[in-house]
Chains A and B, each alone.
Chain A
Amino acid sequence: MSDALLAITLVWGFIFLYAIMASMDFGAGFWAMTYIKKEETNATKIANSYLSPTWEVTNTFVVGLVIAIYSLFPGAVFTIGVALIVPASLILVLLCIRSAFLVFSHSVEKYEKALTYISGLTGLIIPGLLISVLPITHLGFVEGMRGNEELNLFKLFTSPNEYAFMGFGILSTLFLSSLLLSDYSKQADEMKAYKIYRRDAMITGPLMLVMAMMVMITLKSEANWLYEGMMKNSALLLVSLVFFIISGVALYLPYFSKREVKGMPRIAVIAIIIQYLVGSYVYGIAHLPYIIYPNVTILSGFTDPTSFRAVFATYIVGFAILVPGFYYFWSIFMKDQRRKFKRRQMTN
């Protein structure tokens, strides 16, 4: 594998990780808002307790991702920077307000309601904007010569593909997060919340699949090169569909314990993550060699080989130190949350 390919794989890995983490984060915000009036179900509480510890890491991950792109593909920075200035600025503003109020609401009780609405609404808008980055990179709307490029916003917002992606992004966020929250509430023995989130997953899942089909149909007419590329791996696309079906089955399956509750959300979560992994791999491999079609390729954007080696070494060292640390903390935290929930239930 060439260095550039290795580097873009790393970037893809980061984007995938971020997409999963952020979907859960943003989706949880939306669900917390949706169920704010249904206090007896604890659905909002579950979503909020999930939200609070993750934002710092998710926020830092945004920066980490941006840094990964410009340190591995500096030649792409100018075009990417110009193309994304409007959508990325909007994302930043919304993200900033969201994170800040998340923190403030821990100290000021009366912010809690405002936070729920802020994080709920931004939980829908931000994923829609984030996913727009993909059509921007493949639709070829970044026009002009190097140094004077500009994103044609009119073309972008009249493109059906852009809207198909937005719908896909938003529904994926809702689907992934409701799945995760159903698993999470089952772990915490919150059966009312579990039932709600399981139902939500059952609704958003098929809708997400419909949007994925829309994405493919619009791709065929608007970015045929990408569509053709993806179809070369149609077998893998089928595999991803199979994992979607597995997760559906896992949700409907009767639960083997004595409880009255159906479904095995844990299996569904894992199957869906695999589905996305496979799907995004097919998209990514078809997208190569372009970073931004047709302006920048991974080779034209790639960094200096000496820099690459140094940067790559820091990744290895950094991850070797951090991954065990975070795993340890995460396990403490999850246990702590569950304990808290149980304690709260007992006092109720």
Chain B
Amino acid sequence: MDHIQMARAMFGTNMAVHIIFATIGVGLPMMMLAAELMYQRTKDLQYVVMAKRWTKTLGVLLGVGIPTGTIAGVQLSLLWPGFMEVIGRVMALPFQIEIYAFMIEALFMSIYVYAAEKIKPWARVVSLFFVAFGAMASAVLISNVHAFEGTPAGFRFENGEIVDVDPWAAFFNPSFLVTAGHTALTAYTTGAFVVAAVAAYKMLRNKFGTTEFNFHQKALKLSIVLGLVFSFLTALNGHATTQHLYREQPEKLAAAEGLFETKDHAGLTLFGYTDREAQEVKYGIEFPWVLSFLSGNSFDTVVTGLNDFPEEYWPPLYVHILFNAMVIIGSGLIALALFALVWNKWLKKDTYPRWVLWLFVAAGPLSVISIECGWIFACTGRQPWTIYRMLSTADSVTSYENLGFLFTMFILVYIILCVSVVFTLLYYFKRHSVMDDIYIAEQKDERLFDSNS
């Protein structure tokens, strides 16, 4: 590995770990808020217990999310000083505002956790709202930097100097809304399906009709509804994102679809892998004309193929697999949630078949995998650029070359963190069962919440 690849691998590993916790860290507050609102509607204490247990989970997950985020924030300048030089000059605002968003989240989280019993239920909802808002805003703002990397705006280069800087034009770059929206919606989807996975697993482990079974079924129902709404919105937004790619980063779209020749009536290929020599996707299933239609809402739309770009501008061709995995998992989630909703609401069944529950158990990890695929696709699909057509990855990287040792050290740390976070969650929830929490909630004078920050 040369040192650019090493730096990419190093930063990529950090992101791959961080994004799991960051995504759930945005999705879970939304679920907590939903549970508190359900309590307002139904006055069923189990929803408060649910919110409490999710809060605890979030608290533990933040133990990895915040430190890995700290690493990400600092490592950007350590590994990509050339890139951060441009970002500092042009696109500093999102990072700045993100700090405040995070502080708002931390502040209201502390109020929610410390003062839960002392404040009125509506104040609890308000503080949770700000927790969720802060988390979502952080994600949106950071994704905005990613959006800027794909569709830079607000500056230009003149003789190697950055001129005509307009920080707000950079902030509101063309793909800000679709990209940031995609991050937020997929985080909500993932939050819902991760909760669904745990709930479904617990239902499989408990007898039908017990308090614990009912508790988890309530959680599952809540996450099915929200999961369906957000996965559907993700699909709509994904469509818009693809159209942006078509207009603004055509070689990324071409690589995602394995399209070499420019043509109208272009087909969409699912599965398979892109063969560079044969210039086609092997072992895929082609849906004729669909790509043209998706790109420009008409079958006549001409989609530019990779051959119209110099080969050194081509993204790696494996992004086809990543893009497919993301889209297929996303569609699967919609189908699963829709099926479960119909089963429950219209067929009026009082519980779900075991195989559906097992599918939900799988859906949690799959949604996280989909997030990972999406991010790797989005970032490797932009190669060889860090800022599209403005700044190359080679010009961004540090001149320090002995990254091997540092990389090993970071990998070790991530392994330690990931193992101990799983252990911590299992340990804690084994000793604090749902039944205990429900019992405590019913004995009003006991403290339901305790410090976990």
Contact = CB atoms under 8 A, between A and B. Distances in A.
Interface in A72-87: 72-75, 77-82, 84-86
Contacts of A111: 420, 424
Interface in B395-453: 398-400, 406, 409-410, 413, 416-417, 420-421, 423-425, 427-428, 451-453
B302 interface: no
A85 B425 CA distance: 33
Interface string A201-245: 000000000000000000000000000000000000000000000
A303 B59 CA distance: 37
A111 B106 CA distance: 24
B273 to A, nearest CB: 36
B400 A85 contact: yes
Contacts of B178: none
A322 interface: yes
A341 to B, nearest CB: 13
B307 to A, nearest CB: 35
Contact of A81 (B56, B104, B398): B398
Interface in B86-106: 86-90, 92-93, 95-97, 99-100, 102-104, 106
B74 A56 contact: no
Contact of B100 (A82, A306, A318): A318
Main secondary structure of the interface of B (DSSP, over half): helix
B70 A62 contact: yes
Interface stretch (B162-170, B240-248, B291-299): B162-170
B84 interface: yes
A95 B67 contact: yes
Nearest to B67: A96
B417 A96 contact: yes
A144 B400 CA distance: 12
B59 A103 contact: yes
A322 B111 contact: no
Contacts of B81: 77-82
Interface in B56-84: 56, 59-60, 62-64, 66-71, 73-75, 77-82, 84
Nearest to B426: A108
A202 B90 CA distance: 49
A89 B424 contact: no
A113 interface: no
A63 B68 CA distance: 11
Interface string B340-382: 0000000000000000000000000000000000000000000
B300 interface: no
Contacts of A60: 66, 70, 99, 102-103, 106
Interface stretch (A28-36, A122-130, A147-155, A257-265): A147-155
B115 interface: yes
B84 A150 contact: no
A321 B85 CA distance: 29
Nearest to A63: B73
B452 A107 contact: yes
A63 B70 contact: yes
Given A92-B75, A96-B70, A332-B114, A82 B406 contact: no
B110 interface: yes
Nearest to B109: A56
Interface string B154-193: 0000000010011110000000000000000000000000
Contact of B99 (A67, A93, A102): A67
A314 interface: yes
A74 B64 CA distance: 29
B77 A66 contact: yes
Contacts of A72: 88
Contact of A59 (B67, B89, B90, B111): B67
A64 interface: yes
Contacts of B78: 81, 84-85, 88-89
Nearest to A310: B167
Given A74-B85, A103-B63, A332-B114, A92 B70 contact: yes
Contacts of A100: 63-64, 67, 417, 420-421
A17 interface: no
Nearest to A75: B85
A189 interface: no
B277 to A, nearest CB: 37
B123 interface: no
Contacts of B225: none
A148 B399 contact: yes
A69 to B, nearest CB: 8
Given A60-B102, A104-B420, A70 B69 contact: no
Contacts of B167: 306-307, 310-311
A147 B110 CA distance: 44
Contacts of B45: none
B69 A63 contact: yes
A3 interface: no
Nearest to A92: B71
Contacts of A70: 77, 84-85, 87-88, 92
Nearest to B92: A71
A315 interface: yes
B9 interface: no
Contacts of A336: 114
A64 B85 CA distance: 16
B29 to A, nearest CB: 15
Interface of B: 56, 59-60, 62-64, 66-71, 73-75, 77-82, 84-90, 92-93, 95-97, 99-100, 102-104, 106-107, 110-111, 114-115, 162, 165-168, 398-400, 406, 409-410, 413, 416-417, 420-421, 423-425, 427-428, 451-453
Given A315-B96, A322-B100, A329-B107, 18 more contacts: A52-B453, A63-B70, A67-B99, A69-B77, A71-B95, A78-B82, A85-B79, A95-B70, A97-B417, A99-B70, A100-B417, A103-B59, A108-B428, A303-B92, A304-B90, A304-B162, A322-B104, A333-B110
Lowest 7 A-B CB distances belong to which pairs?
Answer: A74-B88, A103-B63, A71-B92, A81-B81, A96-B67, A70-B88, A63-B73
26 contacts: A56-B453, A57-B103, A59-B70, A60-B66, A62-B74, A63-B99, A64-B99, A66-B74, A74-B89, A74-B92, A75-B85, A88-B78, A92-B70, A95-B67, A100-B421, A103-B62, A104-B60, A104-B63, A104-B421, A106-B451, A107-B428, A108-B423, A111-B424, A307-B165, A318-B100, A321-B100
